[in-house]
Structure 1
Protein backbone atom coordinates (compact mmCIF):
# COMPACT_ATOMS: atom_id res chain seq x y z
CA UNK A 1 0.00 0.00 0.00
CA UNK A 2 1.30 3.43 -0.89
CA UNK A 3 2.07 5.82 1.95
CA UNK A 4 0.87 9.42 1.91
CA UNK A 5 4.09 10.82 0.44
CA UNK A 6 4.03 8.32 -2.43
CA UNK A 7 0.37 9.09 -3.09
CA UNK A 8 1.12 12.81 -3.19
CA UNK A 9 4.08 12.35 -5.50
CA UNK A 10 2.05 10.22 -7.91
CA UNK A 11 -0.88 12.64 -7.87
CA UNK A 12 1.41 15.56 -8.64
CA UNK A 13 3.25 13.60 -11.33
CA UNK A 14 0.04 12.62 -13.15
CA UNK A 15 -1.40 16.15 -12.91
CA UNK A 16 1.86 17.61 -14.18
CA UNK A 17 1.86 15.11 -17.05
CA UNK A 18 -1.63 16.21 -18.09
CA UNK A 19 -0.61 19.86 -18.00
CA UNK A 20 2.65 19.28 -19.87
CA UNK A 21 0.85 17.17 -22.47
CA UNK A 22 -1.81 19.84 -23.05
CA UNK A 23 0.27 23.01 -22.73
CA UNK A 24 3.92 22.06 -23.08
CA UNK A 25 6.74 22.88 -20.71
CA UNK A 26 6.80 26.66 -21.17
CA UNK A 27 3.02 26.92 -20.99
CA UNK A 28 2.75 25.11 -17.65
CA UNK A 29 3.47 26.65 -14.26
CA UNK A 30 3.72 25.17 -10.80
CA UNK A 31 0.51 27.08 -10.01
CA UNK A 32 -1.22 25.26 -12.87
CA UNK A 33 -0.04 21.91 -11.54
CA UNK A 34 -1.11 22.89 -8.02
CA UNK A 35 -4.62 23.72 -9.23
CA UNK A 36 -4.86 20.52 -11.28
CA UNK A 37 -3.57 18.25 -8.53
CA UNK A 38 -5.25 19.90 -5.55
CA UNK A 39 -1.84 20.08 -3.84
CA UNK A 40 -0.22 23.27 -2.66
CA UNK A 41 2.72 24.76 -4.49
CA UNK A 42 4.73 24.23 -1.33
CA UNK A 43 3.96 20.50 -1.40
CA UNK A 44 5.01 20.30 -5.04
CA UNK A 45 8.31 22.06 -4.33
CA UNK A 46 8.85 19.84 -1.29
CA UNK A 47 8.55 16.66 -3.37
CA UNK A 48 10.09 17.82 -6.66
CA UNK A 49 12.10 20.99 -5.79
CA UNK A 50 11.51 22.68 -9.18
CA UNK A 51 9.52 22.56 -12.41
CA UNK A 52 12.65 21.34 -14.20
CA UNK A 53 12.99 18.40 -11.82
CA UNK A 54 9.29 17.59 -12.14
CA UNK A 55 9.58 17.59 -15.94
CA UNK A 56 12.62 15.36 -15.74
CA UNK A 57 10.71 12.96 -13.48
CA UNK A 58 7.86 12.78 -16.01
CA UNK A 59 10.36 11.99 -18.77
CA UNK A 60 12.02 9.35 -16.60
CA UNK A 61 8.60 7.80 -15.88
CA UNK A 62 7.99 7.71 -19.64
CA UNK A 63 11.22 5.78 -20.17
CA UNK A 64 10.58 3.53 -17.17
CA UNK A 65 7.33 2.25 -18.68
CA UNK A 66 9.07 0.48 -21.57
CA UNK A 67 11.11 -2.40 -20.05
CA UNK A 68 8.05 -4.20 -18.65
CA UNK A 69 6.17 -3.70 -21.92
CA UNK A 70 9.10 -5.03 -23.95
CA UNK A 71 9.49 -8.04 -21.64
CA UNK A 72 5.78 -8.84 -21.85
CA UNK A 73 5.76 -8.90 -25.64
CA UNK A 74 9.16 -10.47 -26.30
CA UNK A 75 9.10 -13.15 -23.62
CA UNK A 76 6.69 -15.43 -25.49
CA UNK A 77 7.10 -18.42 -27.80
CA UNK A 78 5.75 -16.48 -30.79
CA UNK A 79 8.02 -15.94 -33.81
CA UNK A 80 10.27 -12.90 -33.50
CA UNK A 81 8.61 -10.88 -36.27
CA UNK A 82 5.22 -11.44 -34.69
CA UNK A 83 6.65 -10.28 -31.35
CA UNK A 84 8.01 -7.16 -33.03
CA UNK A 85 4.70 -6.26 -34.63
CA UNK A 86 2.74 -6.96 -31.42
CA UNK A 87 5.15 -4.80 -29.46
CA UNK A 88 4.75 -1.95 -31.93
CA UNK A 89 0.98 -1.93 -31.45
CA UNK A 90 1.36 -2.02 -27.65
CA UNK A 91 3.70 0.98 -27.82
CA UNK A 92 1.30 2.80 -30.14
CA UNK A 93 -1.56 2.30 -27.67
CA UNK A 94 0.63 3.55 -24.83
CA UNK A 95 1.40 6.74 -26.74
CA UNK A 96 -2.29 7.20 -27.49
CA UNK A 97 -3.74 6.31 -24.07
CA UNK A 98 -1.10 6.95 -21.37
CA UNK A 99 -0.78 10.63 -20.46
CA UNK A 100 2.63 10.13 -18.81
CA UNK A 101 3.98 8.55 -21.99
CA UNK A 102 2.55 11.35 -24.11
CA UNK A 103 3.83 14.05 -21.77
CA UNK A 104 7.28 12.50 -21.61
CA UNK A 105 7.48 12.51 -25.39
CA UNK A 106 6.37 16.13 -25.64
CA UNK A 107 8.74 17.27 -22.92
CA UNK A 108 11.68 15.54 -24.57
CA UNK A 109 10.86 17.30 -27.84
CA UNK A 110 10.98 20.58 -25.87
CA UNK A 111 14.20 19.61 -24.09
CA UNK A 112 16.03 22.80 -25.08
CA UNK A 113 13.80 24.71 -22.66
CA UNK A 114 14.41 22.32 -19.74
CA UNK A 115 17.54 22.92 -17.70
CA UNK A 116 18.07 19.31 -16.64
CA UNK A 117 19.96 16.21 -17.79
CA UNK A 118 17.51 14.01 -19.69
CA UNK A 119 17.62 10.40 -20.89
CA UNK A 120 18.45 9.78 -24.54
CA UNK A 121 15.57 8.22 -26.49
CA UNK A 122 15.47 5.73 -29.39
CA UNK A 123 18.77 3.96 -28.68
CA UNK A 124 17.10 1.30 -26.54
CA UNK A 125 14.33 0.86 -29.10
CA UNK A 126 16.83 0.39 -31.93
CA UNK A 127 18.63 -2.27 -29.88
CA UNK A 128 15.34 -4.04 -29.11
CA UNK A 129 14.29 -4.12 -32.77
CA UNK A 130 17.75 -5.23 -33.88
CA UNK A 131 17.65 -8.11 -31.40
CA UNK A 132 14.23 -9.21 -32.64
CA UNK A 133 15.32 -9.02 -36.26
CA UNK A 134 18.44 -11.06 -35.48
CA UNK A 135 16.20 -13.69 -33.89
CA UNK A 136 13.93 -13.59 -36.93
CA UNK A 137 17.00 -14.33 -39.05
CA UNK A 138 17.91 -17.29 -36.85
CA UNK A 139 14.33 -18.54 -37.12
CA UNK A 140 14.45 -18.32 -40.91
CA UNK A 141 11.82 -15.56 -41.13
CA UNK A 142 14.04 -12.68 -42.22
CA UNK A 143 14.91 -12.05 -45.85
CA UNK A 144 18.57 -12.88 -46.48
CA UNK A 145 19.34 -9.40 -47.85
CA UNK A 146 18.22 -7.66 -44.61
CA UNK A 147 20.90 -6.41 -42.23
CA UNK A 148 19.25 -6.34 -38.77
CA UNK A 149 21.14 -3.27 -37.52
CA UNK A 150 20.37 -1.18 -40.59
CA UNK A 151 16.77 -2.34 -40.73
CA UNK A 152 16.23 -1.67 -37.02
CA UNK A 153 17.29 1.95 -37.45
CA UNK A 154 14.92 2.35 -40.38
CA UNK A 155 12.00 0.72 -38.59
CA UNK A 156 12.41 3.01 -35.58
CA UNK A 157 12.66 6.11 -37.78
CA UNK A 158 9.48 5.08 -39.61
CA UNK A 159 7.64 4.14 -36.42
CA UNK A 160 8.32 7.34 -34.51
CA UNK A 161 7.87 9.45 -37.62
CA UNK A 162 4.43 7.88 -37.95
CA UNK A 163 3.67 8.91 -34.36
CA UNK A 164 4.67 12.50 -35.03
CA UNK A 165 2.44 12.74 -38.09
CA UNK A 166 -0.46 10.91 -36.44
CA UNK A 167 -0.29 13.16 -33.38
CA UNK A 168 -0.33 16.28 -35.55
CA UNK A 169 -3.24 15.12 -37.71
CA UNK A 170 -5.69 13.56 -35.28
CA UNK A 171 -4.07 13.22 -31.85
CA UNK A 172 -3.17 9.58 -32.63
CA UNK A 173 -6.84 8.53 -32.78
CA UNK A 174 -6.13 6.43 -35.89
CA UNK A 175 -2.65 5.33 -34.89
CA UNK A 176 -3.36 1.58 -34.93
CA UNK A 177 -4.78 1.64 -38.46
CA UNK A 178 -1.93 3.85 -39.65
CA UNK A 179 0.56 1.48 -38.03
CA UNK A 180 -1.04 -1.45 -39.84
CA UNK A 181 -0.58 0.49 -43.07
CA UNK A 182 3.09 1.01 -42.21
CA UNK A 183 3.65 -2.70 -41.58
CA UNK A 184 2.04 -3.50 -44.93
CA UNK A 185 4.74 -1.30 -46.41
CA UNK A 186 7.67 -2.61 -44.34
CA UNK A 187 7.04 -6.33 -43.95
CA UNK A 188 7.44 -7.27 -47.64
CA UNK A 189 11.01 -6.02 -47.37
CA UNK A 190 11.68 -7.84 -44.09
CA UNK A 191 9.98 -11.21 -44.48
CA UNK A 192 11.69 -14.10 -46.25
CA UNK A 193 8.29 -15.16 -47.56
CA UNK A 194 6.32 -11.90 -47.65
CA UNK A 195 2.79 -12.15 -46.28
CA UNK A 196 2.09 -9.07 -44.15
CA UNK A 197 -1.69 -9.61 -44.20
CA UNK A 198 -1.33 -13.04 -42.58
CA UNK A 199 0.97 -11.75 -39.83
CA UNK A 200 -1.25 -8.75 -39.10
CA UNK A 201 -4.31 -11.02 -38.98
CA UNK A 202 -2.61 -12.94 -36.15
CA UNK A 203 -1.64 -9.77 -34.29
CA UNK A 204 -4.98 -8.02 -34.84
CA UNK A 205 -7.57 -10.82 -35.10
CA UNK A 206 -10.96 -9.68 -36.30
CA UNK A 207 -9.67 -6.39 -37.65
CA UNK A 208 -10.29 -5.67 -41.31
CA UNK A 209 -7.15 -5.27 -43.36
CA UNK A 210 -7.29 -1.63 -44.46
CA UNK A 211 -4.96 -2.07 -47.40
CA UNK A 212 -7.05 -4.93 -48.79
CA UNK A 213 -10.32 -3.00 -48.83
CA UNK A 214 -11.49 -1.05 -51.87
CA UNK A 215 -9.68 2.24 -51.92
CA UNK A 216 -6.54 0.84 -50.23
CA UNK A 217 -4.66 2.39 -47.35
CA UNK A 218 -5.93 5.88 -47.95
CA UNK A 219 -9.70 5.17 -48.19
Structure 2
Protein backbone atom coordinates (compact mmCIF):
# COMPACT_ATOMS: atom_id res chain seq x y z
CA UNK A 1 0.00 0.00 0.00
CA UNK A 2 1.39 3.38 -0.99
CA UNK A 3 1.78 6.24 1.52
CA UNK A 4 -0.95 8.21 -0.28
CA UNK A 5 -3.38 5.28 0.02
CA UNK A 6 -2.55 4.92 3.70
CA UNK A 7 -3.12 8.63 4.31
CA UNK A 8 -6.44 8.55 2.45
CA UNK A 9 -7.62 5.73 4.72
CA UNK A 10 -6.52 7.57 7.84
CA UNK A 11 -8.13 10.88 6.88
CA UNK A 12 -11.77 9.94 7.71
CA UNK A 13 -10.66 8.77 11.15
CA UNK A 14 -8.72 11.98 11.70
CA UNK A 15 -11.77 14.05 10.71
CA UNK A 16 -13.93 12.06 13.11
CA UNK A 17 -11.44 12.57 15.94
CA UNK A 18 -11.30 16.31 15.21
CA UNK A 19 -15.10 16.47 15.25
CA UNK A 20 -15.21 14.69 18.62
CA UNK A 21 -12.65 17.10 20.07
CA UNK A 22 -14.59 20.07 18.69
CA UNK A 23 -17.86 18.86 20.22
CA UNK A 24 -16.12 18.31 23.54
CA UNK A 25 -14.78 21.88 23.40
CA UNK A 26 -18.21 23.27 22.60
CA UNK A 27 -19.86 21.30 25.41
CA UNK A 28 -17.24 22.42 27.91
CA UNK A 29 -17.86 26.04 26.91
CA UNK A 30 -21.64 25.57 27.04
CA UNK A 31 -21.40 23.99 30.50
CA UNK A 32 -19.39 26.95 31.80
CA UNK A 33 -21.92 29.37 30.34
CA UNK A 34 -25.00 27.53 31.63
CA UNK A 35 -23.46 27.08 35.08
CA UNK A 36 -22.52 30.76 35.35
CA UNK A 37 -25.48 32.50 33.68
CA UNK A 38 -28.35 30.05 33.44
CA UNK A 39 -30.16 28.84 30.33
CA UNK A 40 -32.23 31.97 29.52
CA UNK A 41 -29.24 34.32 29.53
CA UNK A 42 -26.88 32.18 27.43
CA UNK A 43 -26.60 32.71 23.68
CA UNK A 44 -24.90 30.67 20.99
CA UNK A 45 -22.50 33.60 20.60
CA UNK A 46 -21.55 33.25 24.28
CA UNK A 47 -20.75 29.59 23.73
CA UNK A 48 -18.84 30.25 20.51
CA UNK A 49 -16.69 32.96 22.09
CA UNK A 50 -15.98 30.81 25.16
CA UNK A 51 -14.98 27.92 22.89
CA UNK A 52 -12.82 30.16 20.70
CA UNK A 53 -14.72 29.50 17.50
CA UNK A 54 -17.41 31.00 15.29
CA UNK A 55 -21.17 30.72 15.74
CA UNK A 56 -21.29 28.80 12.46
CA UNK A 57 -18.93 26.20 13.86
CA UNK A 58 -21.16 25.72 16.89
CA UNK A 59 -24.28 25.48 14.72
CA UNK A 60 -22.56 22.87 12.56
CA UNK A 61 -22.51 20.50 15.55
CA UNK A 62 -25.57 21.69 17.52
CA UNK A 63 -28.61 23.09 15.77
CA UNK A 64 -29.68 25.41 18.59
CA UNK A 65 -29.38 26.23 22.29
CA UNK A 66 -31.88 23.51 23.23
CA UNK A 67 -29.66 20.90 21.61
CA UNK A 68 -26.72 22.20 23.63
CA UNK A 69 -28.74 22.06 26.85
CA UNK A 70 -29.77 18.47 26.13
CA UNK A 71 -26.18 17.46 25.32
CA UNK A 72 -24.86 19.03 28.54
CA UNK A 73 -27.63 17.32 30.54
CA UNK A 74 -26.76 13.96 28.97
CA UNK A 75 -23.09 14.53 29.84
CA UNK A 76 -24.12 15.45 33.39
CA UNK A 77 -26.02 12.15 33.69
CA UNK A 78 -23.02 10.19 32.40
CA UNK A 79 -20.72 11.88 34.89
CA UNK A 80 -23.08 11.03 37.75
CA UNK A 81 -23.15 7.43 36.49
CA UNK A 82 -19.35 7.32 36.40
CA UNK A 83 -19.23 8.47 40.02
CA UNK A 84 -21.63 5.67 40.99
CA UNK A 85 -19.54 3.10 39.09
CA UNK A 86 -16.38 4.23 40.87
CA UNK A 87 -18.07 3.76 44.26
CA UNK A 88 -19.36 0.29 43.39
CA UNK A 89 -15.81 -0.81 42.62
CA UNK A 90 -14.75 -0.05 46.21
CA UNK A 91 -16.89 -2.87 47.68
CA UNK A 92 -17.75 -0.85 50.76
CA UNK A 93 -20.51 -1.90 53.16
CA UNK A 94 -23.94 -0.76 51.88
CA UNK A 95 -24.25 2.36 54.05
CA UNK A 96 -20.60 3.16 53.39
CA UNK A 97 -21.33 3.00 49.66
CA UNK A 98 -24.23 5.42 50.10
CA UNK A 99 -22.09 7.85 52.10
CA UNK A 100 -19.19 7.63 49.64
CA UNK A 101 -21.51 8.19 46.67
CA UNK A 102 -22.99 11.31 48.24
CA UNK A 103 -19.54 12.61 49.22
CA UNK A 104 -18.08 12.07 45.74
CA UNK A 105 -21.14 13.70 44.21
CA UNK A 106 -20.71 16.64 46.59
CA UNK A 107 -17.10 17.05 45.48
CA UNK A 108 -18.19 16.94 41.84
CA UNK A 109 -20.85 19.60 42.46
CA UNK A 110 -18.19 21.77 44.07
CA UNK A 111 -15.51 21.30 41.40
CA UNK A 112 -17.01 20.07 38.10
CA UNK A 113 -18.60 22.67 35.82
CA UNK A 114 -20.56 20.04 33.88
CA UNK A 115 -22.20 18.82 37.10
CA UNK A 116 -22.99 22.39 38.11
CA UNK A 117 -24.47 23.14 34.69
CA UNK A 118 -26.53 19.96 34.64
CA UNK A 119 -28.06 20.75 38.02
CA UNK A 120 -28.91 24.31 36.98
CA UNK A 121 -30.47 23.14 33.72
CA UNK A 122 -32.68 20.74 35.65
CA UNK A 123 -33.94 23.66 37.74
CA UNK A 124 -34.65 25.58 34.52
CA UNK A 125 -36.14 22.64 32.60
CA UNK A 126 -39.49 24.40 32.09
CA UNK A 127 -37.67 27.12 30.13
CA UNK A 128 -36.01 24.67 27.75
CA UNK A 129 -37.72 23.67 24.52
CA UNK A 130 -36.76 19.98 24.63
CA UNK A 131 -37.62 17.28 27.15
CA UNK A 132 -34.67 16.66 29.48
CA UNK A 133 -34.17 13.26 31.14
CA UNK A 134 -35.78 13.13 34.57
CA UNK A 135 -33.15 13.84 37.20
CA UNK A 136 -31.71 11.47 39.79
CA UNK A 137 -34.02 8.48 39.22
CA UNK A 138 -31.24 5.95 38.62
CA UNK A 139 -29.23 7.60 41.40
CA UNK A 140 -32.08 7.08 43.88
CA UNK A 141 -32.66 3.51 42.71
CA UNK A 142 -28.99 2.66 43.24
CA UNK A 143 -29.01 4.02 46.79
CA UNK A 144 -32.22 2.08 47.48
CA UNK A 145 -30.61 -1.14 46.22
CA UNK A 146 -27.62 -0.67 48.52
CA UNK A 147 -29.86 -0.03 51.51
CA UNK A 148 -31.93 -3.09 50.62
CA UNK A 149 -28.73 -5.15 50.57
CA UNK A 150 -28.00 -3.99 54.10
CA UNK A 151 -31.45 -5.15 55.20
CA UNK A 152 -30.89 -8.52 53.54
CA UNK A 153 -27.91 -9.17 55.81
CA UNK A 154 -30.33 -9.53 58.69
CA UNK A 155 -28.69 -6.81 60.77
CA UNK A 156 -31.18 -5.08 63.05
CA UNK A 157 -31.71 -1.39 62.52
CA UNK A 158 -34.42 1.19 62.97
CA UNK A 159 -34.13 2.61 59.47
CA UNK A 160 -37.16 3.30 57.25
CA UNK A 161 -37.76 1.08 54.19
CA UNK A 162 -34.90 1.36 51.64
CA UNK A 163 -36.90 3.16 48.96
CA UNK A 164 -38.23 5.72 51.43
CA UNK A 165 -34.81 6.32 52.98
CA UNK A 166 -33.19 6.64 49.54
CA UNK A 167 -35.76 9.25 48.52
CA UNK A 168 -35.16 11.23 51.72
CA UNK A 169 -31.37 11.09 51.32
CA UNK A 170 -31.42 12.18 47.68
CA UNK A 171 -33.93 14.95 48.35
CA UNK A 172 -31.92 16.20 51.33
CA UNK A 173 -28.63 16.05 49.43
CA UNK A 174 -29.80 17.91 46.35
CA UNK A 175 -31.54 20.46 48.55
CA UNK A 176 -28.29 20.90 50.50
CA UNK A 177 -26.27 21.40 47.33
CA UNK A 178 -28.68 24.09 46.17
CA UNK A 179 -28.47 25.93 49.51
CA UNK A 180 -24.67 25.61 49.54
CA UNK A 181 -24.57 26.98 45.99
CA UNK A 182 -26.64 30.03 46.91
CA UNK A 183 -24.79 30.75 50.15
CA UNK A 184 -21.13 30.13 49.29
CA UNK A 185 -20.71 28.59 45.84
CA UNK A 186 -20.80 25.07 47.36
CA UNK A 187 -17.54 25.57 49.25
CA UNK A 188 -18.88 23.68 52.30
CA UNK A 189 -20.96 21.08 50.47
CA UNK A 190 -18.80 18.11 51.50
CA UNK A 191 -19.14 19.10 55.17
CA UNK A 192 -22.90 19.59 54.76
CA UNK A 193 -23.15 16.16 53.14
CA UNK A 194 -21.37 14.27 55.89
CA UNK A 195 -23.53 16.04 58.48
CA UNK A 196 -26.61 15.07 56.49
CA UNK A 197 -25.66 11.38 56.43
CA UNK A 198 -24.81 11.36 60.13
CA UNK A 199 -28.13 12.99 60.99
CA UNK A 200 -30.38 10.83 58.79
CA UNK A 201 -28.52 7.55 59.49
CA UNK A 202 -27.04 7.88 63.00
CA UNK A 203 -25.79 4.28 62.87
CA UNK A 204 -23.63 5.06 59.82
CA UNK A 205 -20.58 6.29 61.75
CA UNK A 206 -18.67 3.00 61.54
CA UNK A 207 -19.23 2.75 57.78
CA UNK A 208 -18.36 6.41 57.25
CA UNK A 209 -14.89 5.75 58.70
CA UNK A 210 -14.30 3.37 55.77
CA UNK A 211 -15.12 6.02 53.16
CA UNK A 212 -12.05 7.39 51.35
CA UNK A 213 -13.80 10.73 50.79
CA UNK A 214 -15.00 11.27 54.35
CA UNK A 215 -13.50 14.27 56.16
CA UNK A 216 -11.49 13.06 59.14
CA UNK A 217 -12.49 14.26 62.57
CA UNK A 218 -9.75 15.60 64.81
Query: In the comparison of the two structures, how many residue pairs are matched?
Result: 204
Pick the aligned partner of 2:211 from 189, 192, 203.
Answer: 203
**Matches of 2:213 and 2:142, distance apart in 1:** 25
* Residues in 1 aligned to 2:71 and 2:176: alpha-carbon distance in whole angstroms: 26
Which one has more relative contact order, counting CA pairs under 8 Å at least 6 apart? 2
Q: Does 1:113 align with 2:127?
A: yes
For structure 2, which runs of at least 5 residues remain unmatched after alignment? Answer: 1-13
Matches within 5 A, 1:1-219: 3-141=17-155, 143-144=157-158, 146-188=160-202, 194=203, 196=205, 198-203=206-211, 207-209=215-217
User: How far apart are the structure 2 equivalents of 1:169 and 1:145?
Assistant: 31
Q: CA deviation at 1:75?
A: 3.2
- Quickly say closer, same or farther: Cα 1:57–1:34, change in 2 above 3 A: same
Q: Which has the larger radius of gyration?
A: 2
Q: Is the 8 A contact 1:81 1:141 kept in 2?
A: no
* Distance in 1 separating the partners of 2:20 and 2:33: 20
Q: Aligned to 1:3, what secondary structure does the other structure show?
A: helix
Pairwise CA distance, 1:61: 0.6
Deviations 1:126-185 (A, max 9, x none): 211110100111234561552111111111111111111111111111111111111120
Single out whichever of 59-68 and 40-49 deviates more from structure 2.
Answer: 59-68
Could you tell me how far apart the structure 1 residues matched to 2:38 and 2:195 are?
30
Runs of 5+ consecutive residues of structure 1 not aligned to the other structure: 189-193, 214-219
Counterpart of 1:216?
none
Q: Is the contact between residue 94 and residue 149 of structure 2 (CA under 8 Å) also seen in structure 1? A: yes
| 1:79-128 Cα shifts (integer Å, max 9, x gaps) | 11111111111111111111111101111111111101110012112211
Range that drifts further, 199-208 or 11-20? 199-208
Tell me how far 1:20 sits from its aligned partner: 0.8
Distance change >3 Å, CA 147–CA 29, structure 1 → 2: same
